[in-house]
Amino acid sequence: MISLAPAGTLQATHDQSLWPHIRQVERRQWQLWASAIVVTLLLAAGMAYFSYLFDEYDPTFSLTLRDSVRGLVALVFLFNLYIIHQQLQIHRIRRKLTDQEEMFRLISENAEDLITMIDREGQRLYNSPAYQRTFGYSKEDLDGLPFLDQVHPDDHETVLAARNETFQKGMTPRVEYRFRRKDGEWRTLESNSSPVRNHRGEIEKLVVVSRDITERKRAEELLQQREQQLRQAQKMEAVGQLSGGIAHDFNNLLAVIIGYSETMELRLAPDDPLRKNTTEIRKAGQSAAALTHQLLAFSRQQVLQPKILDLNSVVTEMGKMLRRLIGVDIELTNKLASQLGKVKADQSQIEQVIVNLVVNARDAMPDGGELLIETSNVDISETVARSLPFLHPGSHVLLTVTDTGVGIDAETQRHIFEPFFTTKEPGKGTGLGLATVYGVVKQSGGVVGIDSRPGRGSTFKIFLPQAKESAEAAPPDITDTKSSTETGTILLVEDEEALLLLTAGLLAECGYTVLSARDGIQALEIARSFDEPIDLLLTDVVMPKLGGPALARSIAHLRPETRILFMTGYEERGPGSRGILPAGIESLQKPFSREVLIHRVRQVLDAAPVQVLD
């Protein structure tokens, strides 16, 4: 007998029960017929001898007897020849049948597909050896068992309907169902059934050929999941670009609103009725600025100041604030891993991520509950990396926030990171909390995932790549000891005219000489024609004609001693972008207050010039 070895090579094996029995039966048949032939020959010889004896006593009678005996002997010889011929024919037919049986056995025993024969009652009449190789069932385990015994209860109706349709109509529908291995694992099978008819044309048996499609189903589900993730990522990217563009333009307007409201506050007397109105304008502008920062965080276009962080320290330092945030009816527990790896991220933004997740968990537990914050080191394998889009293999730090709240259904999870999407009542949320989490984590090189079911709480997992650099020393605390009057020449470049006038006025009030330009080309002309030193280039990043980074490189060649400070409402991203900031250059994020502007200008002027590389 021939069977396929696990490696796919043919090996010769012998069935010790079937073939010896067949050969024994053939030997017995040959022995029986040989004995019959010998007996008939002996009888024919005896009759011939008997006729010879009669020939001596009565020649007349013996002549008749001799002819009869000769005829009988001839018949015996013909009969023996016929027997030999028939036995040879039977042997040839048997050999053909055994060859066909051998071929069927080779097919059934070496086929990866599962082959079984069932009767009208669903009892198994035959099971191919693939059941043992694939599912662990021996022949004795399956013999006589109903076909549905190993089928998942939820799939019984589907399998019965397909079987009945085949018996009634002779059709062979394709059906998928779950089948239990001997070790209890459920696998998905795809089956086709073929009817077996009797001599009256009635269907009395079915041959069912099944194939294990579990891995194919998993691959199809993974492909479908990836396609959904890709569409979701593309949608989030499109919304993010739109949000970032709106926030950028809005930041310029807010900078003007906040700046002029601060100027008015300084010029109005404390008891002036307009001062209160001006203060409210400034506060509204600052609230709007916080909203644009959230939009920029979602769109991953905010300016980050990443540094080496220990997440354990960040979570520990936020403990008191988080407990005040969630209230006394929610129990907060920290489970922080020892020897936790470091990450490189903006600390303020990571803190915002934690706050947003904690607030989301609090809102999911209106009647109280438990909140767990965990940190751990994880080594992402190729298999795990495929479970989340944009997750790469390697060493990561995992930040997990788990609550015992109401949970989130699958449909909501598909939209949960979209900006302005919220399940809360009107006025109870902006819909930017989790969108901000998504943007900050993505901009920090990480991935955020969610595991939740209605009634079972939610778990948010944030994977951040482990940083190879060592922890950075904390920067010294710079205190502004300068007087309110400053000196120096500043080349100010801003394409938004209202913001240009406001910023120039604020700097001039502090004693700086301000050279204003509305674009990079005009700024270069001023730099070439101005005879005195220019101490600082304060420029917007994205401008028509010539962007801020290109202008900074040109100024660095013309005036190496000039310090550079960028003003930006968001971080330009993408290949060929004109707004990517040169390494090591300071930036001032819009919208900024008067105090922040003056402090950052003084800070950059007091520092050494930074070389801008091409």
In this predicted model, what pLDDT tens digit does every residue of 526-544 receive, in sequence order?
999 999 999 999 998 878 8
In tens, the pLDDT along 70-80 reads 677 777 777 77
In tens, the pLDDT along 189-237 reads 888 888 888 888 888 888 888 888 888 888 887 777 777 666 766 666 6
Grade residue 289 by pLDDT with cuts at 50, 70 and 90: confident
Picking from 406, 384, 381, the residue whose alpha carbon sits closest to that of residue 395 is 381
More confident residue, 607 or 245: 607
- pLDDT on residue 414: 78
Convert 382-415 to b/e letters by CB count within 10 Å (16 or more is b): eeebeebeebeeeebbbbbbbbbbbebeeeeeee
CB 222 within 8 A of CB 245: no
- pLDDT on residue 312: 92
- pLDDT on residue 100: 78
Lowest mean pLDDT among 88-92, 280-284, 488-492: 88-92
CA atoms of 163 and 118, how far apart (whole Å): 10
Amino acid, single-letter form, for residue 342: K
Q: Judge if the upstream peptide bond of residue 20 is cis by omega within 30 degrees of 0.
A: no
| Burial class of residue 198 (count of CB atoms within 10 Å of its CB; 0-12, 13-18, 19+) | exposed
Token code pair at residue 101: 């049986």
> For the residues 374-378, what does the mean pLDDT come to?
93
Contacts of 507 (CB under 8 A, 6+ apart): 490, 492, 514, 538, 597, 598, 601
Element (H, E) at 441: helix 433-443
The DSSP annotation for 459-517 comes to: EEEEEEEBP-SPPPPPPP-----S-S----EEEEE-SSHHHHHHHHHHHHHTT-EEEEE
pLDDT averaged over every residue in the chain: 78
Query: Degrees (nearest 5) of the Cα angle 25, 27, 33?
Result: 100
CA pseudo-torsion sign 51, 55, 56, 58: positive
CA atoms of 325 and 594, how far apart (whole Å): 31
- pLDDT on residue 481: 38
Residue with tokens 């600082």: 536
The pLDDT of residue 429 is above 90? no
Element (H, E) at 115: strand 114-119
The pLDDT of residue 547 is above 80? yes
Picking from 411, 308, 407, 312, the residue whose alpha carbon sits closest to that of residue 354 is 312
Helix ranges (H only) for 327-402 are 347-363, 382-385
Element (H, E) at 296: helix 273-298
3-state secondary structure of 300: coil
- pLDDT on residue 257: 86
Grade residue 573 by pLDDT with cuts at 50, 70 and 90: very low
Contacts of 359 (CB under 8 A, 6+ apart): 325, 433
CB 389 within 8 A of CB 414: no
- pLDDT on residue 477: 44
* Most confidently predicted of 43-57, 59-73, 416-430, 439-453: 439-453
The pLDDT of residue 493 is above 90? yes
CB 590 within 8 A of CB 568: yes
CB-hemisphere CA count at 13 Å for 483? 5
Query: Degrees (nearest 5) of the Cα angle 144, 148, 153?
Result: 150
Token code pair at residue 576: 């060929």
Grade residue 397 by pLDDT with cuts at 50, 70 and 90: very high
Lowest mean pLDDT among 38-42, 268-272, 308-312: 38-42
> For the residues 498-502, what does the mean pLDDT come to?
88
The pLDDT of residue 11 is above 70? no
The pLDDT of residue 404 is above 70? yes
CA atoms of 170 and 207, how far apart (whole Å): 12
- pLDDT on residue 300: 47
CB 258 within 8 A of CB 286: yes
Percent of the chain with pLDDT over 70: 77
> For the residues 308-329, what does the mean pLDDT come to?
88
* Most confidently predicted of 90-94, 162-166, 328-332, 584-588: 328-332
- pLDDT on residue 479: 42
- pLDDT on residue 401: 94
Whole-angstrom distance between the N-terminal and C-terminal Cα of the chain? 76
In tens, the pLDDT along 140-193 reads 777 767 778 888 888 888 888 888 888 888 777 788 888 888 888 888 888 888
CA atoms of 281 and 258, how far apart (whole Å): 8
**Which is it for strands 458-465 and 394-403: parallel, antiparallel or unpaired?**
antiparallel
Convert 83-93 to b/e letters by CB count within 10 Å (16 or more is b): eeeebeeeeee
- Could you tell me if residue 471 is left (phi over 0), alpha (psi between -120 and 50 degrees) or otherwise beta? beta
In tens, the pLDDT along 22-55 reads 667 777 777 777 777 777 777 777 766 666 665 5
CA atoms of 188 and 176, how far apart (whole Å): 7
CB 343 within 8 A of CB 397: yes
The pLDDT of residue 350 is above 90? no
- pLDDT on residue 480: 45
CA distances in angstroms from 274 to 81, 263, 278, 285, listed in the order given: 134, 13, 6, 17
More confident residue, 404 or 241: 404
The pLDDT of residue 273 is above 90? no
Strands in 175-180's sheet, in edge-to-edge order, are: 124-127, 114-119, 203-212, 186-197, 175-180
Token code pair at residue 71: 């005829």
The pLDDT of residue 512 is above 90? yes
